[in-house]
Amino acid sequence: MVKQIEVLPKFEHGVLTFGEIPKFQYRRRLSDELGDRLTAEDAVRMLDMMLLIRSFEEMIIALKDGSHKPTEGFEFTGATHLSIGQEAVAVGSMAAIEPTDLITSTHRGHGHGIAKTSYALCAMRPEQLSEFLGEPVGDRSPEGLLHAAIEHHLMRTVAELLGKEDGYCHGRGGGMHIADFYTGHLGANAIVGGSLGIGAGAAMACDKLGTGQVVLCIAGDGASNNGICHESYNFACMAQFRNGTPVIFLVENNQYGMTGQQVGEVTNVDYLARRGAGYNPEMMHAEVVNGMNVLAVWDAVRRARQTCAVAQGPVLLDCLTYRYMGHSLSDLRTTYRSRQEEDAWRAADPIDSFRAQIVEAGVMSEKEIEDHVEHAREDVRKVTDRAVHSADPDPAEITRGLFTDTTSEGIGEEWRTVEVLKQPRAFKRDAEGKIFYRHAVNEALTEEMMRDRRVILYGEDIADYGGAFQVTVGLLDVFGRERVFNAAISEAAIVGTAAGAAMAGLRPVCELMYIDFILMAMDQVGNQAAKARYMFGGKATLPMVIRTTVGGGKGYAGQHSQSLEAVVTMFPGLKVVMPSTAYDVKGLLKAAIRDDNPVVFIEHQSLYLEKEVVPEGDDYTLPLGVASVRREGSQVTVVAYSSMVPIAEQAADLAAQQGISVEIVDPRTLIPLDVDTIVKSVRKTGRVILVCQAPYTGCFPQHIAFEIQKHAFDALKAPMSIVAAYDVPPPMAQPLEMEHIPSPEKVAREIAAVCHSEAHAAA
């Protein structure tokens, strides 16, 4: 393939120049907008939304301090991160985007969720409102139906805060993790900045799927100092995204991360919008916005959406606002804020200032506004009492929503790739029908990308170069840069964007070159991809694969040779696969790509040049969660996976010379683990050796050993044994590294010791 982008030496004398970042450009009032861009009904709706949000959060205070007791003995538990004072950002932004657009939110996101779904409901037809309510339209008027739907929405929001079954996430997420996928709310996030990668990835999906949607990704000012923020900005600005990325990064800048203030303390910039200058020549179309003025926010987001709609995104908006309360209700805020400062911000209150404009424009009188204030309070009181008396989740269903059993099997021709740049490479089998392990990976990727055009592939150096181990060579030539592309060295962004893209309809396969590097992305792996489905009540679907490798034996030392598979098994919601053969790697990778759950797919570098017979054709898959008995035996079971399977096979040959019959079980997938096949083998042999390349302490075989003693303790004739690496980082020196990695001889010695232990005990 001809190189597309030449990097040539250019040493021209000069200076770098930067454009201007506008701030506080909006100078109109409501009276200027009426009859132009807004109707009186629009204005009233903005006010009503802000009143609902404030009433909602004032109710949380009342529940927390006991001034409102819906029932005798009621006690509020859970998070209390309030956004009183910030209502203009929530309402202005949601009023500006389209009902079908997507959003991500923050742990201080009640207002975002209330406004997003309410505005979406306002745009729905009666039959859609009926579906949302789960009730027939009946004889209700359109206004009555809409009011009932918004009440139901508020009730479900309160219910989630209270951990109720009727909550948006069935009580699994609580106030910091509300999501409503029905109306495009991809979820609030308790990790500061945690959803920035998700927002960028969802926007990438909107572009590649051609949906016309824009993603509004809201994060606080504190998140702007987090690594995932910078990685996500950079990812969204990548030049290879020729259509731009349709995402609006909105910084809800309430001045304090928790207690640390952005200006004058934890940064050295006066406006966070300056950060946009670092990512593309357009400076992300950055702008500073008055976040206390609902019309200013509405205007800025409206223009930002248009920028994204014409393929000029992303956009960065720095909306200056203020939270009147502390970080949470346990934070009295007096240690780091002055009364004078608070009073100054309260004088610019977003609701009071907009009320004045509504009266000034003749839209409503003060008396009418007061009626709306009381209606908002009454609606919130009513739905709160309903939520308090609703059912708690059933503890018997605690695991519901963790995994989905759906896959992309049976999609037919709907998503098939119909155009490629060139025909895919056919890997020639040898005389025995064998191909290399790495070619089997490539073949699996090719077949799945042909079968389903929603499958995309990206990571570090996987495009022109074909990856560090030449596994993805040729895929760029076939599918082009729209579906196969390099990512920056930004592991958190790679995984986070894959999660967002999966939520928004793609089926991404992202690659991390070495599993050592997954530690750079563990928030996105463990707190985002793993938890999203369960945390959001089983509504999120994340069909994504994280491909990575483990190694050893090449002298790469402690940061390129670790076996960290046990780390990722610690996060419920992830499936973990470690194939040991070319036959398995193709069938399991194809199954992983079709699975609707996030899968961590771990390949071993030392296996890439191993050959085996591998079936051709895209009908071939292997089910996840089914172990393989590699060798039948009668005296001892060796459980091994990945590169330790050939080690176990060589050890079994050595043991056979001593007359010991070894059975080898390869789990193939660690999560889900096929305990039944392992236990069946142990009951047959009565003895167990478990082999892995990870350090002994905390290795996954320790979990397998527990499952064996739990289900087959009575069948054991001798204590179980684990052959693992030493409890040291992988050393570089060859003698040390060879000692570190389990060898056939070491495993064979342990087999002999376990098999002879019964005789010794009897003697």
Q: How far apart are CA 466 and CA 473, in angstroms?
A: 4
Mean of the per-residue pLDDT values for the chain? 95
What count of residues does the chain have? 763
Distances (CA, A) of 163 to 75, 388, 400, 531: 12, 10, 15, 17
The dihedral of CA 260, 263, 269, 275: what is its sign?
A: positive
pLDDT at residue 617, rounded to an integer: 85
Which stretches does DSSP call E strand in 557-660? Answer: 575-577, 599-604, 611-613, 628-631, 636-640
Whether the ω angle into residue 672 lies within 30 degrees of 0, i.e. cis, is yes
Q: Which residue type occupies 384? A: T
- Ramachandran angles phi, psi of 718, nearest 5°: -155, 160
**Residue range 651-673: average pLDDT?**
98
Q: pLDDT at position 761, please? A: 41
**Residue in 177, 327, 560, 604 annotated catalytic:** 560
Beta carbons of 257 and 222 less than 8 angstroms apart:
yes
Q: In CATH terms, is domain 434-613 a member of 2.40.50.140?
A: no
User: What are the E-state strand segments in 223-371?
Assistant: 247-253, 287-290, 315-320
Does the pLDDT of residue 315 top 50, yes or no? yes
Phi-psi region for residue 514, left (φ > 0), alpha (ψ -120 to 50) or beta?
beta
What confidence category does residue 738 fall into, taking pLDDT thresholds of 50, 70 and 90? very high
The separation between CA 443 and the C-alpha centre of its own chain, rounded to angstroms, equals 27
Q: For 445-499, how does the pLDDT look when each residue is reduced to its tens digit (9 = 90+)? A: 999 999 999 999 999 999 999 999 999 999 999 999 999 999 999 999 999 999 9
560 as an active site residue: the answer is yes
Spatial contact of 494 and 521, defined as CB atoms under 8 Å apart: yes
pLDDT tens sequence across 71-126: 888 888 887 899 999 999 999 999 999 999 999 999 999 999 999 999 999 999 99
pLDDT > 90 in the chain, percent = 91
**Local structure of residue 407 (DSSP, 8 states):** B
pLDDT at 332: 86
- 27-76: per-residue pLDDT in tens? 999 999 999 999 999 999 999 999 999 999 999 999 998 899 898 888 88
With vertex at residue 289, the alpha carbon angle to CA 235 and CA 220, rounded to the nearest 5 degrees, is: 55
pLDDT digits 0-9 by tens, 561-619: 999 999 999 999 999 999 999 999 999 999 999 999 999 999 999 999 999 999 998 88
User: What integer pLDDT is reported at residue 4 of this predicted model?
Assistant: 67
Per-residue HEC secondary structure of 1-49 comes to CCCCCCCCCCCCCCCCCCCCCCECCCCCCHHHHECCCECHHHHHHHHHH
The answer on pLDDT for 718 being more than 80 is yes
DSSP per-residue letters across 265-298: II-S-S-GGGGGGGT-TTGGG-EEEETT-HHHHH
Beta-bridge partner residues of 34: 38
String of DSSP letters for 703-728? HHHHHHHHHHGGG-SS--EEEEE-SS
DSSP 326: -
* Predicted local confidence at residue 1, as pLDDT: 52
> Which pLDDT score, from 0 to 100, does residue 156 have?
96
For the domain made up of 629-762, the CATH class stated in words is alpha beta
Same fold, 30-277+291-389 and 434-613: yes
Largest Cα span, the chain? 101
- For residue 26, pLDDT over 60 is answered with yes
Pairwise CA distance, residues 634 & 632, whole Å:
7
Which of 161-165, 345-349, 555-559, 628-632 shows the lowest mean pLDDT across its residues?
A: 555-559
For 218, the enclosing helix (H) or strand (E) is strand 215-220
In what side-by-side order are the strands of the sheet with 721-725?
628-631, 662-666, 636-640, 688-695, 721-725
Whether pLDDT at 759 is above 50: no
- CA distances from residue 153 to 121, 135, 536, 545 in whole angstroms, order as listed: 9, 14, 15, 34
Please give the pLDDT value at position 7: 87
Q: Around Cβ 171, how many Cβ atoms within 10 Å?
A: 21
Q: What angle do CA 63, 68, 72 make, to 5 degrees?
A: 95
Query: What SS3 class is residue 383?
Result: helix
Q: Are strands 434-436 and 611-613 parallel, antiparallel or unpaired?
A: antiparallel
Q: Indicate whether 696 pLDDT > 90.
A: yes
CATH of 30-277+291-389, one of 3.40.50.720, 3.40.50.620, 3.20.20.20, 3.40.50.970: 3.40.50.970
- pLDDT (0 to 100) of residue 555: 85
* Domain segments of the chain as ranges: 30-277+291-389, 434-613, 629-762
Residue range 218-232: mean pLDDT, rounded? 96
